[in-house]
């Protein structure tokens, strides 16, 4: 499989690192408007995941050499002008965050790519397919797919499993590391709170998670609410779910439900632990969510479930799952 990555931010660079050297997937090109030498530096040195050996930027050829293979470095602002046809690109990983509508993402197809996989929740006219939940329900084999986001991949599985018992309503508070969409120092922003210094405050941020969950789990439409609270760490997240159940449950029953799911049908996607973890402990974890059984509690029919996830590594793991799924198909 020949792939290209458009947009080399946090997700694009981590995908590059993880896919370099893959025996069956070849990165043939990356595209970003940043100076290529700076891109090479940011792939090599990462403040969260550490140094990445064996990468070199060759200025004369405008190529990256990684894992003994050469990767073209492009600086094109418009996807329509990218040389995907000439490079025989099977899949474009659209990681720029700017081309998540159907019309915008379709530019990659017009440029010659076979498929497009977004790195975010796309517009409503793009299929929202969560790997491990509904990825086998694709109709007409669409060329553009949204795999959701890190919070959607965490929440969907948890809520779907609990729906087997019955949910009256649910709310989630996602304690999430700060992101590039926030600011280092106080500055003007259309969302006032996002303009505050990310490393200095606990900052509530509006998210579209309820809309995404409503699309995936129609039975919870208008019965699920969520907010993201950005906290001063560079990586990792904790999802705190407060759920009003339709029938009596116990903490032991719920923990056993998730323990069994993690070992069977959701193996590799959900994990379960009773170790006393903190956010740093899940850095580099490939699961979409890690249920913390030590924090499960029940009062009446109100259930609290807490899950950890690495918002970058866990999510890119699902994008890689998509590539493997398409390659094998």
**Among candidate residues 216, 56, 238, the one with its CA nearest the CA of residue 148:** 216
CA distance 42 to 161: 39
Which residues does 142 contact at the CB level (< 8 Å), separation at least 6? 126, 127
Which residues does 79 contact at the CB level (< 8 Å), separation at least 6? 6, 31, 92, 94, 99, 104, 107, 108, 111
Q: At what angle do helices 150-163 and 313-328 cross, to 10 degrees?
A: 80
**Among candidate residues 174, 224, 234, 165, the one with its CA nearest the CA of residue 204:** 174
CA distance 203 to 194: 7
CA distance 56 to 43: 10
| 187 strand-pairing partners | none
**Which member of 95, 150, 154, 289 is catalytic?**
150
* Residue 150 is a catalytic residue: yes
Which residues does 114 contact at the CB level (< 8 Å), separation at least 6? 89, 90, 91, 143
**What residues act catalytically?**
150
């Amino acid at each position: 499989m020949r792939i290209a990555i458009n947009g080399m931010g946090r997700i694009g660079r981590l995908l590059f690192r993880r896919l370099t050297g893959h025996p069956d997937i070849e990165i043939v090109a990356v595209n970003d408007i940043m100076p290529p030498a700076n891109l090479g530096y940011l792939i090599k040195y990462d403040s969260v995941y550490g140094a990445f050996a064996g990468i070199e930027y060759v200025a004369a050829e405008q190529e990256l050499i990684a894992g003994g293979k050469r990767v073209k470095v492009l600086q094109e602002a418009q996807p329509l002008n990218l040389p995907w046809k000439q490079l025989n690109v099977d899949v474009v990983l659209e990681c720029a965050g700017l081309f998540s509508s159907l019309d915008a993402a379709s530019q990659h197809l017009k440029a010659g790519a076979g498929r497009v996989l977004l790195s975010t929740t796309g517009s409503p006219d793009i299929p929202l397919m969560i790997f491990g939940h509904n990825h086998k329900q694709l109709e007409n084999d669409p060329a553009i797919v949204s795999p959701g986001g890190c919070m959607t991949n965490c929440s969907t599985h948890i809520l779907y499993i609990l729906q087997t018992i019955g949910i009256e309503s649910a709310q989630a508070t996602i304690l999430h590391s700060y992101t590039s969409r926030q600011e280092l120092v106080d500055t003007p922003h259309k969302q006032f709170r996002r303009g505050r210094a990310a490393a200095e405050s606990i900052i509530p941020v509006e998210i579209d998670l309820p809309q995404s969950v409503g699309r995936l789990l129609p039975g919870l439409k208008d019965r699920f609410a969520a907010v993201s609270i950005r906290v001063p760490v560079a990586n990792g997240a904790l999802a705190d779910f407060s759920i009003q159940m339709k029938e009596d449950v116990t903490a032991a029953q719920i923990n056993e439900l998730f323990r069994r799911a993690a070992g069977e049908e959701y193996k590799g996607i959900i994990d379960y632990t009773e170790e006393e973890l903190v956010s740093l402990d899940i850095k580099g974890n490939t699961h979409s969510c890690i249920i913390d059984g030590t924090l499960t509690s029940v009062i009446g029919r109100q259930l609290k479930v807490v899950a950890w996830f690495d918002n970058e590594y866990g999510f890119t793991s699902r994008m890689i799952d998509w590539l493997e799924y398409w390659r094998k198909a």
